[in-house]
Structure 1
Amino acid sequence: MNRETVELTKYGWNQHWQSLMDSMQDPNKPLVPGRVTAQYSKQYRIITETGEKTAAVTGKYEYEALSRSDFPAVGDWILVEPLQGEARAVIHRLLPRATAMTRKEAGSVPDEQVIAANTDTVFIVSALNQDFNVRKIERYLIAVWESGSQPVVLLTKADLCDDPDEYVSQVVSSAPGVPVHAVSSVLDQGKEDISPYLMPGHTVAITGSSGAGKSTLLNWLSGEEIQRVQGIREEDARGRHTTTHRELFLLPGGAIMVDTPGMRELQLWDSAGGWGETFSDIEELAGLCRFHDCRHESEAGCAVQQALDDGTLDPGRFTNYKKTEKELAYLAKKENSASKRQKEHGRPHSSKSRRDRRAGGYSFSNDGYDYD
């Protein structure tokens, strides 16, 4: 194995990606693989077998893209043409993703934005301060489960909390099957709980609200200040912006980490599977109801209402279950309407199932991230 292949292996390249590349190669115009490490509007920073380069998609690629989600995102593997004698490359193709965490793009037109691609694990970061919110964590869980990645909840700033275990218990009860860890970079506590996820070649994304401590977490795990950090507003414990774009880093131990900007709101996108996984306990109860079409309101023999009455189901969790169910149903209806309009105008709609999408995140300035 030559040195160039070893370098790409450090960034997650393996036989799976090699096979995909081989199947997509044009024998008349061989391309080389690269991984997107940062994204700035229409420009990308990528890593290839000959080192780091700046890149942009070809004119043909941009013309054929049907939506924002057809463009590369951080974490994507791409096929590129290096420009001879320059530290630049042109992106021709996007390798199909293994996983993709997405959200609905801000705005009235339904479209998908990719937060991070080809991640194995996603750290959902929530600070143990005034901004702690279990319902918000549930929303992130929906998106992560839908992505195909393994969610892990990290409760940061445990040094600010008298009883971190109480908060861990709250999240555990609302996150069936999800590991939950309380950590503190100030006290250097909890790193041993995180280390099993940080394997060489393993890609981990960090997501959460601004001020949750994502960049601090990245610096702590890397052992150096690779991301700038800022304090929070004392009056509401909300964060000032630190990370203003998505970026991929190689940690000293060999893990690959994607840092993302904080989001004002995570608007869900095409997440029925992730919703069912997040609320699997309620779905199991629903299966025990006397009537298969039970709305879990006042019907006789409703197992969900029985769990609410006897205190085994948190009312707030059930409310979020119903709220997100309606939200996803509304989004699906809106997307179907948009699809019909596009077909009437002779242009195919770009939405496909999660497994079939070519997607990526095309970074515009108004992307819904929290930069305030």
Structure 2
Amino acid sequence: MHLSTMGWDTFFEDQKKALKKVNGRLARVTGLQKNHVRIHDGEEEVVVKARGRIVRGHGKNTLFPVPGDFVIEKDGVVTRVFARKNQLVRGAAGRRGKLDAAPKAKQVIASNIDTVFIVTGLDRDYNLRRIERYLTLIYNSNMAPVVILNKADLHDDPAPFKAEVEEIAVDVPVHLISSTDGSGVDALAPYISEGKTVCLMGSSGAGKSSLVNAIAGDEIRIVGEVSDFDGKGMHTTTTRDMIFLASGGMIIDNPGIREISLSDEEGGVKDTFPDIEDLAAGCRFNDCSHQQEPGCNVIRAVEEGTLAPDRLFNFLKMRLELTFLSDRDAKTADRIEKEKWRDVAKYLKDAKKRT
């Protein structure tokens, strides 16, 4: 294996040339272990440390290594993180639904990703609104999403689920697969060809670990049981790890995500809801909020049954959430204190009634 087969290309080579001299060895981050980093240089995988100023955020290079990063390591220490093509980012966990106290912190999950698989089980895990949130998060991170509908073997005819997702995931590839019997898994091969990196996202119990095993053709990830009571799975995957495949591709497996907190970029909403954006172009007012204005083409679509009320509500909710987060840095502490969640909750409640 060589770095070129691990995703290294001209983007990183140009950065290397700009350094003039590389003081250490080049490698890619394959996982994290507390304050330690696992890296692979194409020949071996080792556990090293990250230099203090990188961890604490001091100095010119303040990136903390995450799976997918390319780095320079010397004497058992990561001394440099190369600039990223992209990074999968979500808002800090534990704050969804608490917009008045929304944190500025963001969590970088992985970097330098070619495709993100949104893995959803066709059982109690199936939720269109959650898929919309995943899509928004991925578009905000400037990455390409693919929806994987796992556990297709649970249904005699799973095709309606695929059609339903294709309706809300516009122009996004949607695949029906079964990690149990392997059906549909071969169709995923083009996304994981040599040098390509895929990152998995989904709830616990969606079948991410089973999918990795089905793709790899080996039991390399522990698979947990899904509760009959609530349909939720245990966190059998507790770390983010890069897995190397025989095809030459790489998969970054992630622990199940219970809370999809968005970061403060607004562009993802437009990409997730292009149908609503197209409808909005026909509204009477350019700044239409799509709630109560006369001549609102979006509300008309809801009334005529061509746009689902829940889809519009989710659009309004995420747009408000992202606008709030985007504006937060520019607001004073006093103003933030005055803008309590009760006002936001009332706004959303009224919006839902009107739609």
Change in Cα spacing, 1:45 to 1:294, as seen in structure 2 (3 Å) is: same
Which of 5, 8, 12 is residue 3 of structure 2 equivalent to?
A: 8
C-alpha distance 334-41 of structure 1, shift in aligned 2 (>3 A): farther
Query: 2:117 maps to what in 1?
Result: 123
CA offsets per residue over residues 343-364 of structure 1, 9 Å max, x none?
xxxxxxxxxxxxxxxxxxxxxx
Q: 2:179·2:207 contact (CA, 8 Å) conserved in 1?
A: no
Give the alignment's Cα RMSD to 1 decimal: 2.0
Q: For residue 275 of structure 2, what is the amino acid of its counterpart?
A: D
Shift of 1:283: 1.0
CA contact (8 A) 1:131 1:236 kept: no
Structure 2 residue identity aligned to 1:42: N
Q: How many residues matched?
A: 326
How much identity, in percent, do the aligned residues show?
39
Deviates more, 1:278-287 or 1:47-56: 47-56
CA contact (8 A) 2:91 2:263 kept: yes
CA contact (8 A) 1:120 1:149 kept: yes
Shift of 1:54: 1.1
1:1-372 aligned within 5 A: 7-25=2-20, 27=21, 30-65=23-58, 70-81=63-74, 83=75, 89-107=76-94, 109-337=103-331
Any conservation in 1 of the 2:265–2:326 contact (CA below 8 Å)?
no
Letter in 1 for 2:92: E
SS in 2 for 1:336: coil
2:342 aligned partner: none
Give TM-score scaled by structure 1 length. Answer: 0.83
Q: Distance in 1 between matches of 2:50 and 2:111?
A: 17
State the alpha-carbon separation in 1 of the partners of residues 33 and 104 from structure 2: 22
Q: Which runs of 4+ in 1 moved over 6 A?
A: none
Determine the C-alpha separation between the residues in 1 that align with 2:38 and 2:293. Answer: 56
Q: Deviations over 1:21-77 (max 9, x none)?
A: 22135x4x62321110011221110011552121111123234449xx831111111
Q: Report the Cα distance in structure 2 between the residues aligned to 1:326 and 1:225, rounded to whole angstroms.
A: 43
Task: Structure 1: state its 5+ residue gaps.
Answer: 1-5, 84-88, 341-372
TM-score (norm 2): 0.87
Distance, in Å, in 1 between the alignment partners of 2:148 and 2:55 is 38
Cα distance change on mapping 1:193 and 1:316 into 2, 3 Å: same
- Provide the C-alpha distance between the structure 1 equivalents of 2:307 and 2:289, rounded to a whole number of angstroms: 16
Give the superposition deviation at 1:211. Answer: 0.4
Kept in 1: contact 2:262–2:322 (CA 8 A): yes
Q: Deviations over 1:186-228 (max 9, x none)?
A: 2221023212212111000111111000000000000001111
Rounded Cα–Cα distance in structure 1 between residues aligned with 2:28 and 2:299: 49
Q: Structure 2 regions of 5+ residues with no counterpart?
A: 95-100, 335-355
- Separation in 2, partners of 1:215, 1:187: 14
The letter of the residue matching 1:312 is T
Answer whether contact 1:80 1:93 (CA < 8 A) is retained: yes
Amino acid at match of 1:326: L
Amino acid at match of 1:12: G
Q: Distance in 2 between matches of 1:220 and 1:65?
A: 42
d(CA) in 2 for partners of 1:130, 1:101: 26
For residues 130 and 322 of structure 2, the distance between their equivalents in structure 1, rounded to whole angstroms, comes to 16
Closer, same or farther in 2 for the Cα pair 1:338/1:122, shift >3 Å?
farther
Q: SS state of the match for residue 329, structure 2? A: helix
Distance of 2:147 and 2:72 partners within structure 1? 33
Q: Does the CA-based 8 Å contact 1:45-1:54 persist in structure 2?
A: yes
2:350 aligned partner? none
The equivalent residue for 1:353 is none
AA paired with 1:37?
Answer: T
